[in-house]
Chain A
Amino acid sequence: MSPTKNDPAIEKFDIQFSFREKLNSVAEGFRHNYCYQCGACVADCPANNYDEHFNPRLIMLKAILGFEEELLGADSEIWNCTNCYTCSERCPQDVRPIDVIIALKNLSVLQGNAPPIVGNIYNSVLQTGTTTKSSSLVDRRRKELGLSPLGSYPIDEIQKILKVD
């Protein structure tokens, strides 16, 4: 593979192999080591379809090379992942790029670099048990479709589970 201008390895040369150990310590993070850069994860990636800067293969490459700032910064592309698991299905090496991306997200949150919206989602789950707040529109649509209205969730149990010591 010849490097090109788009290749992060050329743009920046701050390769840190120590980042690999950091990522290995997060659940499922070690899987990025298996990647042989075949690109099978990219062709069917829906996020890549809308944003060509989001590229699971490049994220794995950046993880291997240890571009920590790019991956864990507040404007990192990892947050554009739609969690659809297509890359996981296509990957022949069992890298499961999605799981590595989730590991990266966890690292980012731990370092306090996550975009503010992540905090909102966290609070929403903590308060209502759902990632999005239910609205009257949802109730109306459910009624039209003949579905029962959404019930409430056992918030106290969710809070207990999510409580970090």
Chain B
Amino acid sequence: MMDVGRHPNVELMSFSEVESVSGFVGNFHVTVRKKARYVDPSECTACGECEKVCPVAVPDEYQQGFSSRKAIYLPFPQAVPSSYVLDMENCLGNNPIACGKCADVCEKECINYDDQDELVNFEVGVIIAATGMDVYDPTEYDEYGYTRFDNVITSMEFERLICAGGPTGGHFIRPSDHESPKSIGFIQCVGSRSKDGRGNPYCSNICCMNTVKDTLLLCDHYPGVEAKVFYMDIRAFGKGFEDLYIRSKEEGVKYIRGIPGDVVEDSQTKNLVLNVENTTTGKIEKHELDLLVLSQGVIPRRDGAQIKQLLTLSSTSDGFVMESHPKLKPVDAPTKGVYIAGCVESPKDVKDSVTQASAAAARASILLNAGKTKIEAITSNVDIEKCNYCDVCSKVCPYNAILSADKKTNKPPTIIEAACAGCGACAAECPQDAISMRHFTDEQIMAQVDALLSVDPHKHLIVFACNWCSYAGGDMAGTSRLQYPTTCKLIRTMCSGRVDEKFVLQAFRLGAPMVLVSGCHFSDCHYINAVHWTQKRMDRLWNKLDRLGIRADRLQLEWISAAEGQKFAKVMRDMEEKLKQVTEEEIEYTMKKLEEEAKKEEEKKAKKAVKRAKVTQDQEVNA
């Protein structure tokens, strides 16, 4: 961080928050709130005189609350810039009659109680999000007694207690009596790999090796200490990890495969007693420990939603940020010009974070050096003649690529083509049909529907499959040689969000017995959240079909991912079964009914056009 602070090409803004981000790749406008420090960082020499006289003491967050800090403080020894910060919430200096001692002793006179937040605007070409993670709070695992017993601590707290810069200066003691513990237990997977509602279902990736490292630290500094690790699986998968694990075992650390039950505290000694089934022997073991460390998992940042909103990032089901492609674009965010690095993407250790950050920086520099970028030819286009400024498109767009329309100022919606990814949700949602796509046009898709249903329409199942998941799922089924009925006829769209109501109705009108719309699962939509619009549109269509007296379950919606070849084949077989149940009378009724509807619509449109023509005529006459 020191190097970053000193680098001539890097402007470091610590103690600041991003307020807003607008624009697109190469042209991002960013507003940053530089929070008030109440100390001028360019003047402060970090002499520490102010800290000595400050009368306020509050728990030190950096030391996990094990020690206290003053209201004016250095957040941590290596802080950049090396300048004190005033915590105004706890400071008494708001009222100089009450205090003001720090300002009195500051020789540089750099303390200013009236300091204000400052908003800074600048333009950048690319953005790298590396906002990190939070740690899991093990309070809900009440059987381990984290909130009830003094000597149950988390791995973060352990880190502070054994650190030379920690509250005890590196003398490892336990909280209850400040004695050096002789037997220390570690419970693994606290808040990780849990599906029962407590904690998170994923593996937090770093806790196993962190515990192995902790046990080695203990063995190195305090020979003779008894360390026991209760685990379900030790995942030592990285380079040199297994060596470290074996070394820890050789040092005499006991690894016991089993997850303990209730932890009980001895009220006299404050020792902790726990029962555990050693699953390698099948025997219940009782352990008395001086100190118990809960190896807490990693969670996405608690304020992560804000960052995602600012940069239009999407999240995976576990709350971490989703990459553009899990294999081929692991550091790209779905939004062009935004890259991700570190634990914001998934839990990872320092080495992986550095690797990913280097990759993100390299990816960013490619764009910056080139100075220009190629975009996919699939983008949307507004026909201003047809547009009635309803502004649905800008709300639908997952990429914020459409600037809002405004009827009052006669401002049509503008599509930023550099930001458009071509999902087509806007084209499908536009009630005026004013938006057309470049490639995958309405005409092309309609022509496919017409062609597929030109012969024996009642025998065909029309499937709209999205390019990234469902269509690829079909490929998977093919390459896995899975059998499925030949009645299904696939029409590829870039996203299921592209499937317009009129495509589905056209298929029914031409006599299709069944229509299936399929897309990516909600959590891995390749267009951030365009599938949400698919779902909403399907709901609307089902209602419409219901109203027209058409059986709504003839229109089906399925989420099939690219890896789910099995599911694809199964869905197609299920559809075949459902297709057989559709009677010819039903199809005939549907065709007739939809034909009538289409006629009505046309009449309405014609009437509107006549009206509009009249209005313009009148206006011209008046003019």
A residues apposed to B, CB below 8 Å: 1-2, 4, 6-7, 34, 36-40, 42-44, 48, 52, 55, 57-58, 86, 90-94
B282–A4 CB distance below 8 A: yes
B284–A38 CB distance below 8 A: no
Asked if B376 lies at the interface with its beta carbon under 8 angstroms from chain A, I say no
B261–A90 CB distance below 8 A: yes
Asked if B565 lies at the interface with its beta carbon under 8 angstroms from chain A, I say no
Residues of the B chain whose Cβ atoms lie less than 8 Å from the Cβ of A52 = 283-284
Complex Cα distance, B282 from A43, in Å, reads 11
Q: Give the segment of B191-199, B345-353, B465-473, B589-597 that binds chain A.
A: B191-199
Asked if B277 lies at the interface with its beta carbon under 8 angstroms from chain A, I say yes
A1–B280 CB distance below 8 A: yes
A43–B284 CB distance below 8 A: yes
- CB closest residue in chain A, given B259: A40
Asked if B260 lies at the interface with its beta carbon under 8 angstroms from chain A, I say yes
Complex Cα distance, B143 from A86, in Å, reads 11
Kindly provide the distance from the CB of B355 to the nearest chain A CB, expressed in whole angstroms: 29
Asked if B281 lies at the interface with its beta carbon under 8 angstroms from chain A, I say yes
Q: Which of B189, B196, B198, B277 is within 8 Å of A43, CB to CB?
A: B277
The 7 closest A-B pairs by CB, nearest first: A43-B261, A44-B261, A42-B277, A40-B259, A38-B232, A92-B194, A39-B258
B257–A1 CB distance below 8 A: yes
Asked if B403 lies at the interface with its beta carbon under 8 angstroms from chain A, I say no
B residues apposed to A, CB below 8 Å: 143, 189, 193-199, 232-233, 257-262, 274-284
Complex Cα distance, B189 from A34, in Å, reads 17
A36–B232 CB distance below 8 A: yes
B189–A92 CB distance below 8 A: yes
- Chain B contact surface mostly: loop
A43–B275 CB distance below 8 A: yes
B258–A42 CB distance below 8 A: yes
9 other contacts beyond A1-B280, A38-B189, A39-B279, with CB at 8 A cut-off?
Answer: A38-B259, A38-B279, A39-B259, A39-B277, A40-B258, A42-B284, A52-B284, A90-B143, A92-B196
B275–A44 CB distance below 8 A: yes
25 A-B pairs whose Cβ atoms sit less than 8 Å apart in the complex: A4-B282, A7-B282, A34-B195, A36-B232, A37-B279, A38-B189, A38-B232, A38-B258, A39-B259, A39-B276, A39-B277, A39-B278, A40-B258, A43-B258, A43-B259, A43-B261, A43-B284, A44-B261, A44-B262, A48-B284, A90-B143, A92-B193, A92-B195, A94-B196, A94-B197
Q: Which of A4, A42, A43, A55 is within 8 Å of B280, CB to CB?
A: A4
Q: Which of A36, A55, A86, A92 is within 8 Å of B282, CB to CB?
A: A55
Residues of the B chain whose Cβ atoms lie less than 8 Å from the Cβ of A34 = 195
Complex Cα distance, B198 from A152, in Å, reads 41
- CB closest residue in chain B, given A38: B232
Kindly provide the distance from the CB of B128 to the nearest chain A CB, expressed in whole angstroms: 35
Residues of the A chain whose Cβ atoms lie less than 8 Å from the Cβ of B193 = 36, 92-93
- CB closest residue in chain A, given B193: A92
| With A40-B261, A55-B282 as contacts: A93 and B196 at CB distance below 8 Å | yes
Q: Which of A48, A57, A91, A92 is within 8 Å of B279, CB to CB?
A: A57
Residues of the B chain whose Cβ atoms lie less than 8 Å from the Cβ of A86 = 261
Complex Cα distance, B193 from A57, in Å, reads 17
Kindly provide the distance from the CB of B292 to the nearest chain A CB, expressed in whole angstroms: 14
- CB closest residue in chain B, given A86: B261
Kindly provide the distance from the CB of B231 to the nearest chain A CB, expressed in whole angstroms: 9
Kindly provide the distance from the CB of B303 to the nearest chain A CB, expressed in whole angstroms: 27
Residues of the B chain whose Cβ atoms lie less than 8 Å from the Cβ of A2 = 280
Complex Cα distance, B258 from A58, in Å, reads 13
Kindly provide the distance from the CB of B72 to the nearest chain A CB, expressed in whole angstroms: 44
- CB closest residue in chain B, given A37: B279
B195–A39 CB distance below 8 A: no
Kindly provide the distance from the CB of B415 to the nearest chain A CB, expressed in whole angstroms: 46
Kindly provide the distance from the CB of A87 to the nearest chain B CB, expressed in whole angstroms: 10
Complex Cα distance, B233 from A36, in Å, reads 10
A92–B258 CB distance below 8 A: no
Kindly provide the distance from the CB of B471 to the nearest chain A CB, expressed in whole angstroms: 31
Interface centre among A6, A37, A38 (most CB of B within 10 A): A38
B282–A58 CB distance below 8 A: yes
Complex Cα distance, B274 from A158, in Å, reads 44
Residues of the B chain whose Cβ atoms lie less than 8 Å from the Cβ of A1 = 257, 279-280
- CB closest residue in chain B, given A55: B282
- CB closest residue in chain A, given B286: A43
B258–A4 CB distance below 8 A: no
